[in-house]
């Protein structure tokens, strides 16, 4: 009897010791909002009349939810960033988001989107950056209703991170598509960069006016380097370099506004650094897509149910235009925590979250 009584407290102590309370850390920011194109779209184009869609296999072959609309085999750059910021779940597409999800942020990105409204019109419907901003303004009005008043919504939004990645399509599928668009006849590369950045600045001013304070502008990557060519197209990359340099100056201008913390993520330089020594980043194949059509799988996106390469974690390109999950994670890590001083200007996302 006494022995049984003694055993009871011991059992209680052992049970208490075996109970592990897992306390999850809060995300570093309360919310994360995403704007962009197919590099970060996660399903907003799924139900619109567009040729720019990826809601079919083999897209998403390595993503837990399968083919969600992400133009990759797995994670996009912003998925990697959301993890690093401490979010339990990936930021959902605006198209299917609930009111509760608006509080922690949504993804407005749309494949084929551009700064210019006409960009990629040959692909059918898409949500240009102007359209994404209209959706954001509608979301802000919903947040005002949820949080009770404009001041509460403004306070909430001022602590969120916003990433904006626009411009790739304005070059690839506008300026360098002279059979469809006249912009290359109208503008020199310098003039086109000025026109684009001028329009972009007005759009970003709208974003700022509707509460965005911690904003990262993702520079355009080396879109002149794709799997269908043995070398990078110097003319395309040269034009993009002009645009990116103007983005750095734009960040400095916005940082003069009250409460603004804008930064530039040098995707071009990060991509260039990876290409310089791909093996040190775990990549062995940089000159062909894992799936697609044409020379080196470098001319068209993946065909439905096409069998992709097996060693996807060693490829830089997933299809003709979009990186693999492996490459997206590399870029996301360096956007969050700069590996080189040239990766960001002036701060990385980890620092931005703390400001």
The residues assigned a catalytic role are 38, 319, 322
Cβ contact 218:335 at 8 Å: yes
CA distance 245 to 322: 23
Cβ contact 99:142 at 8 Å: yes
CA distance 247 to 259: 19
Structure tokens at 208: 């700022």
Q: Over 275-323, what HEC string results? A: HHCHHHHCCCEEEEECCCECHHHCCECCCCCCCCCCCHHHEEECCCCCE
10 Å CB burial of residue 313 (0-12, 13-18, 19+) is middle
Q: Which helix (H) or strand (E) holds 32?
A: strand 32-35
* CA distances for 326 relative to 79, 312, 323, angstroms: 12, 8, 8
Cα 54 to chain center, whole Å? 15
Q: At what angle are helices 77-84 and 325-336 packed, to 10 degrees?
A: 50
Burial 67-97 (b: 16+ CB within 10 A, else e): bbbbbbbbbbbbbbbbbbbebeebbbbbbeb
CA distance 220 to 76: 15
């Amino acid at each position: 009897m006494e022995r049984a009584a003694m055993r009871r407290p011991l059992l209680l102590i052992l049970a208490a010791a075996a109970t592990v309370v897992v306390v999850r850390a809060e995300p570093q920011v309360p919310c994360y909002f995403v704007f962009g194109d197919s590099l970060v779209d996660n399903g907003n184009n799924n139900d619109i009349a567009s040729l720019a869609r990826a809601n079919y296999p083999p897209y998403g072959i390595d993503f837990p939810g399968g083919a969600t609309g992400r133009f990759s085999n797995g994670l996009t750059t912003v998925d990697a960033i959301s993890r690093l910021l401490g979010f339990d779940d990936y930021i959902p597409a605006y198209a299917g988001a609930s009111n509760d999800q608006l509080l922690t942020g949504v993804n407005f990105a749309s494949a084929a989107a551009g700064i210019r409204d006409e960009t990629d019109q040959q692909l059918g419907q898409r949500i240009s950056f102007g359209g994404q901003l209209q959706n954001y303004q509608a979301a802000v009005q919903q947040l005002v209703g949820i949080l009770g008043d404009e001041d509460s919504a403004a306070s909430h939004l001022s602590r969120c991170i916003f990433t904006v990645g626009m411009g790739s399509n304005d070059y690839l599928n506008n300026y360098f598509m002279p059979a469809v668009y006249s912009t290359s006849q109208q503008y020199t590369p310098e003039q086109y960069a000025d026109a684009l950045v001028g329009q972009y600045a007005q759009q970003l001013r709208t974003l700022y006016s509707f509460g965005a304070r911690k904003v990262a502008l993702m520079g355009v990557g080396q879109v002149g380097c794709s799997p269908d060519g043995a070398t990078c197209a110097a003319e395309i990359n040269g034009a993009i370099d002009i645009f990116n340099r103007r983005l750095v100056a734009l960040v400095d201008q916005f940082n003069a506004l009250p409460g603004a913390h804008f930064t530039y993520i040098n995707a071009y330089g990060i991509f260039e650094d990876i290409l310089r020594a791909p093996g040190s980043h775990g990549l062995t194949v940089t000159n062909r897509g894992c799936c697609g059509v044409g020379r080196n799988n470098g001319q068209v996106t993946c065909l439905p149910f096409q069998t992709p390469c097996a060693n996807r974690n060693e490829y830089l390109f997933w299809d003709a235009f979009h990186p693999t999950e492996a490459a997206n994670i590399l870029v996301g890590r360096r956007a969050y925590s700069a590996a080189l001083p040239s990766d960001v200007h002036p701060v990385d996302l980890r620092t931005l979250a703390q400001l």
